[in-house]
Chains A and B, each alone.
Chain A
Amino acid sequence: QIQLVQSGPELKKPGESLKISCKASGYTFTDYAMQWVKQAPGKGLQYMGWINTQTGKPTYADDFKERFVFSLETSASTAYLQINNLKNEDTATYFCARGLDLGTWGQGASVTVSS
């Protein structure tokens, strides 16, 4: 079955970096774009941007143009979200989602930033 499996929870200090993975299975990875969505604790869904899985080109929403990097390891059917220079407000759950129709979502990766 089609699945997106994300990496586990992270506890980081301000200023550190992290990289979240999203491994796809059950379909051809390059057939669908990968979206990234942030959900702060108790809040709604905030769109971060997407990566073209055929070309590797990332496109970021305005709030995520600095410190955030989308990348791919196509041979492993895996997308990555890297966050640099972590801030307290990056504390959230981060989801990957498949395609323009948001058909499949990862289980979410919890990130806590605290000194």
Chain B
Amino acid sequence: DVVMTQTPPSLSVAIGQSVSISCKSSQSLVYSDGKTYLHWLLQSPGRSPKRLIYQVSNLGSGVPDRFSGTGSQKDFTLKISRVEAEDLGVYYCAQTTHFPLTFGSGTKLEIK
């Protein structure tokens, strides 16, 4: 199985700051169709996960452009510019290139 290593495990940031979360995979996530199926999810407290970014850098519907994703092959980053209070929760990276799908262990974002 592809191992997704996500860092840091937790972050505490002030409103308006920017943060980055790293996700590294044990194998390349480029599929045979040339696409990279690496996604970012946010699970707000008591809620189901919501997809923020799909295929590395594509913003999901209704997701603010404060969120951005970059990376390639095995190394990916989620950046949140100008953190807002509603951004708190646990962020997960997920790969759907290889079966079984695997998730990072999560990064808990707290607001100072």
CB of B111 closer than 8 Å to a CB of A: no
Q: Are A102 and B41 within 8 A (Cβ)?
A: yes
Please report the number of residue pairs spanning A and B whose Cβ atoms sit closer than 8 angstroms.
52
Number of interface residues of A (CB under 8 A): 21
A101 to B96 Cα, complex, angstroms: 7
Q: Which of B41, B47, B94 has the most CB of A within 10 A?
A: B94
Number of interface residues of B (CB under 8 A): 22
CB of B105 closer than 8 Å to a CB of A: yes
Q: What's the nearest-Cβ distance from chain A to residue B78, in Å? A: 15
Q: Which of B37, B102, B103 touches A101 (beta carbons < 8 Å)?
A: B37
Residue of A nearest to B39 (CB): A102
A interface vs B, CB < 8 Å? 35, 44-47, 49-50, 59, 61-62, 95, 97, 100-108
A-B contact pairs, 22 of them (CB 8 A): A44-B92, A44-B104, A44-B106, A45-B92, A45-B94, A47-B102, A61-B100, A62-B100, A95-B48, A100-B96, A101-B51, A101-B54, A101-B55, A102-B39, A102-B49, A103-B51, A103-B54, A104-B51, A105-B48, A105-B50, A105-B51, A107-B48
